[in-house]
Structure 1
Amino acid sequence: MIQCPADFPPEVFSNAISQLIHHPEYNSTLILRSETVSESTTEIPAEAPAVKGFRPVQNTHRRLLPRRPGRDAGLDQHCTLYATEPGDADRPVLLVLTPIVGPDAVLPYYHPAVRHLAFRYIPAEVPLLRIEVVPLPSTPTDLNSRLYRTCLALLDTLHRYGWGAVTNYKKRVHHDCVIPRETYQDLYLVMRERHKHLVNEWQEVTDPLKHVFEDIGIATFLMLLWKESYRPEVEGTPCDESSQELNAAPWKDWPRPPGGFLDLGCGNGLLTHILIAEGYDGHGIDVRARTSWSHYPDDTRQRLHTESLNPTDLVRLDGSIEAHPYLREGVFIIANHADELTPWTPVLATLFSASGYLSIPCCAWAFDEKYERSRAPEYLIPDDSFVDSLNLGGDGSNASSYSRYRIWLASLSLHCGWQVECETLRIPSTRNWAIVGRKRVPGTEEELDQARTQALEIVNRVRERGLFKTRIPEGKAKDH
């Protein structure tokens, strides 16, 4: 079908095709992921073709899982590696993908219309990468055909994997650091089906596809985070879905924050609504009501509140805390693009003995002004490994203003006594970096008291400056 020069040696080929085998979702947005059914270096299935001049050295039986299981079917596939014959090494130079289907079965749309698809490394003075196929009858293979375009994309991907290995490409953004990918994806598919109707019921002028699926993703992450972080309210309450189908909503019995949740700057209220609809206790506050609020069910409307939160008003001069109806002990604080409340999130979590928080920063704010590195208070960074652990992405220099802001937020969380965990969320947003605080930094009572004292000092300094102002509602509700 197509070939190109291979800009890497044959020993790199096995690394490149390993990526193709284990991450088919990188090549098709219609594939969720693959699961390995079995692997063997001795038992080669009969479906694997005999290839002249090559001998099979390994077979992986994988299962392709579709991103839309209600629309596309799953598919089992053999991934067979071949080495040259004769040869004294088992280094693979050929990968053949073979769909496992019955004689009358139809391949799902995301799979090319082929019986076999091969990736071949051809040693020569100028080595080649070549893609070959055994197409199904009557399948077009011309330059304008879908099969040719698919092969072109696959060849580009294979070359990129090999070249990246040669140039020591280092992946700088890592997903699934806090919650396993498979666990998240499986629950997200269920949550998406339960709440996708909200796209057609959208009341705002913003893009419903982005906001609905973004908040479904955040809600999914929170549900699994809480499940892993808290004990069941009643001893013996099941919290493992292994014996139940996700469609049976086992999360109704999963652990949850002991003080409920508080969504700071909840905006359209969608995230609060999804969590309330799934049985979680909590509230959302914002400086003004949105058009969406009045269209939610009563259970949600009763949990959405108009409030301009001023953190300096919540702490008395003697250091005691003003009672607040939603910032109660054990609450989990959500700060999703909370703007000027973003840096206050770990401070409030410490002062109100919260059970944790999730912060997804967007606009860079310090406590009472826009964040400027030269003017913001500095907090201790333990060592370079701390910054490396933040999963900031980019070119690794961490020189951008957004990277510096995230480093500052992480050091602030540590200053307030929280262990720092970071996650690049699987949501449709360029601002998908999140910081999680769910565990206190290990230490003595005195050290924990010191973290609270440091949080109080932040409040007092901001109060003395007298610059913090709560957000004044702007515009009309229909404009947001």
Structure 2
Amino acid sequence: MENLKPDELPNILPGQSLLGKEWHGLFETKVDFSSKHFKKAMLNLIREPNINSTVILRADILIEKDYFDKSFVDKSSDHIDLPNMENKENSVLTKNIDDTTVRTIPLNSDLKLLPALEIVRRIIPRNPFKDCIINQTCLLLQDSLNDDTEVTQSLIVYVAHLDDPVDIPFYLPCVKAVALFYDKGSLSVHYLPFDIEEVQEWKPIDRPVRTAYRLLKTCKKHSEGVMSGYEKRVNHDLIVPKEDFQNRYISLKRKYSKNLVDNWKESTDPRKHVFEDLAIAAFLIELWGQKYPSKDSFQFRDLGCGNGLLVYILIMEGYHGMGIDARRRKSWDSYPDSVQENLLEQVIIPSVLLRPHPAMSAVNPYLTDNGCIFQVPVPLKHIHDTNSRSLIDSNVPIMAYYSSATLLESPHVNTAEFPPNTFLIGNHSDELTCWMPLLRFPFLVIPCCSHALDGSKARFPPRKGKRNDKVQPTSFQSSSSYAGLVDHVEDLATQVGWKVEKEMLRIPSTRNAALIGFDCLNPETDGPFKSIYDVLAMEGGAEGWVENTMALSSRSPRGH
């Protein structure tokens, strides 16, 4: 107790609660915000309970009855999905979720509060195999429903649809109901306990008391944020609904995470890579469910697939595709044969750099390559003849020469000439990032490290001034070099005719902007568009790509 600050000690617990004799107040504090700020903040917290507890993933709204509208509005949902598992042994834990009737509470009759909003939400924990999914009533009561009358008292109440204290999940305080009461100039938190005598034994360090303190602090902080005009800078779930993504993620995590983390072969952090790629797989699966009629109607290519984890997850989920990377990883050997045979150790050289220009092909249709010669430095360590190495001056570079024709025929080169029903994935694909929208296939790219089309490191300035109103505006607003890269990839995509969608992925990475090109813009209203040759010319060409890419195979793999 001596480590607690004065404001962390319950200051209204001994007295009778304003809400009635069954209630017990714990904390009260003075506030400057108004009831409208309180209401807006609390309605957001009702819809986003993960703000109050990291154990909670989300809330699904089952019933919503709005009494502010004179005609009474019922916004109840007729269908809510739970995370789906393939067998009953892996089914999620639930408690009394068939009970969707709005719960009521005892209240001091001297308080003239009117029902303004009644919500029944379903709370989904992050690990529903450990913590139960439950239903909870959320009530908003006010002393006035008239827009022209100032509201001086406003009450938010949470009531779990559970009647036995042993059923209350860990992520909620073990009480019948929790209330946050705004009374012009003050804010207080109250409990409706199962056992009145138990409350008298609570100490300031006990969990129910600490939880009440955090609830009050969070409510105050968010209400003050509303008062100061705070707006979210990033909006998620613009393409794939949050519920669909999170349900899929829970299912994938349950199936794969433990085995993958326990048997990690790379030197990198397994938890970061496993959970990030599970989240990306969940997003892709839900996205593809929107775009394609079946798993057999398309195939994917993960360019720069690194450890191959994303490829493994997608193939195990029944999708067809391959992963391609310049360097084989340790992890590849740990995957089933059906996955290993779809992981290719190849360098990617887009065909546009090796094939004849269309104008040349029109004149001579029998040409298959553009006749270019590329010289690539050869590290001395790759010369295995010790006698030859001893004769070589280490200061004199050794070059290997490749023609377009030999590269086109090489089994170690992939020219990105895929079947027409291919979907490209660029998951932190580094040098390939800016190439992704130029390869003529639908794509998802998650930019990471910034490289130009010649493979060299580059920085792109963030887009300034008025944005193209034909393109979905980004929710990622920043002056950083990362924002510049994201803007640049988006610009390249729109220049060649892609309608770009953007999503800020729910992955454990600060570089979580995903650009998706699936539909083409209308050339009559949005064009004219540029050819890939025009874009290459505008970007300063791609000379050096072959040399830089061929050199990748001789370097140590990066973290991904």
Alignment of 1:219-230 (within 5 A): 219-230=281-292
1:367 to 439, 453, 475: 453
Aligned pair count?
A: 442
2:186 is the alignment partner of 1:128:
yes
- Other-structure match for 1:61: 120
> Which is further off, 425-434 or 2-11?
2-11
Amino acid at match of 1:132: H
SS in 1 for 2:33: coil
- Other-structure match for 1:3: 28
2:354 is the alignment partner of 1:296:
no
Cα deviation 1:64-120 (Å, max 9, x = unaligned): 122212111122222122223899959461111111213465201111111221111
2:511 to 405, 410, 431: 431
Percent identity reads: 33
2:478 is the alignment partner of 1:391:
no
Amino acid at match of 2:520: R
Cα deviation 1:169-226 (Å, max 9, x = unaligned): 1211111011111111112111111212212121112111111111111111111111
Change (3 A) 1:343 1:256: farther
**Cα displacement (A) at 1:317:** 3.2
**Cα displacement (A) at 1:328:** 3.1
1-structure distance, mates of 2:145, 2:242? 41
Change (3 A) 1:176 1:133: same
Amino acid at match of 1:48: I
Whether contact under 8 Å (1:373, 1:404) holds in the other structure is: yes
Cα deviation 1:305-345 (Å, max 9, x = unaligned): 11121236654232478684763323111111111111111
- Other-structure match for 2:44: 19
- Other-structure match for 2:542: 462
- Other-structure match for 1:244: none
- Which runs of no fewer than 5 residues in structure 2 stay unpaired? 1-25, 75-100, 362-367, 369-407, 409-413
Amino acid at match of 1:414: T
Q: CA RMSD in A?
A: 3.3
SS in 1 for 2:338: helix
2-structure distance, mates of 1:470, 1:340? 12
Change (3 A) 1:45 1:333: closer
Whether contact under 8 Å (1:379, 1:415) holds in the other structure is: no
> Which is further off, 318-327 or 263-272?
318-327
Whether contact under 8 Å (1:462, 1:468) holds in the other structure is: no
2:443 to 337, 357, 366: 357
2-structure distance, mates of 1:309, 1:45? 59
Change (3 A) 1:27 1:103: closer
1-structure distance, mates of 2:130, 2:481? 43
Amino acid at match of 1:346: P
Whether contact under 8 Å (2:349, 2:416) holds in the other structure is: no
TM-score scaled by length of structure 1: 0.82
2-structure distance, mates of 1:108, 1:450? 58
2:104 is the alignment partner of 1:47:
yes
Dislocated runs of 4+, deviation >6 Å: 85-88, 320-323, 378-382, 464-467, 477-480
2-structure distance, mates of 1:55, 1:86? 10
Amino acid at match of 1:206: T
- Which runs of no fewer than 5 residues in structure 1 stay unpaired? 233-253
2:156 is the alignment partner of 1:95:
yes
TM-score scaled by length of structure 2: 0.71
2-structure distance, mates of 1:31, 1:256? 36
2:135 is the alignment partner of 1:76:
yes
2:483 to 403, 423, 432: 403
Whether contact under 8 Å (2:349, 2:415) holds in the other structure is: no
**Cα displacement (A) at 1:142:** 2.7
2:321 to 282, 290, 308: 282
1-structure distance, mates of 2:263, 2:112? 58
Alignment of 1:236-385 (within 5 A): 254-255=294-295, 258=298, 260-311=299-350, 314-319=353-358, 324=415, 327-348=418-439, 350=440, 354=441, 356-368=442-454, 369-373=456-460, 383=467, 385=469
1:412 to 492, 514, 519: 492
Larger radius of gyration: 2
Change (3 A) 1:325 1:391: closer
- Other-structure match for 2:95: none
Whether contact under 8 Å (2:348, 2:416) holds in the other structure is: no
2-structure distance, mates of 1:361, 1:176? 18
Change (3 A) 1:379 1:311: farther
> Which is further off, 41-50 or 278-287?
41-50
SS in 2 for 1:333: strand
Change (3 A) 1:444 1:28: same
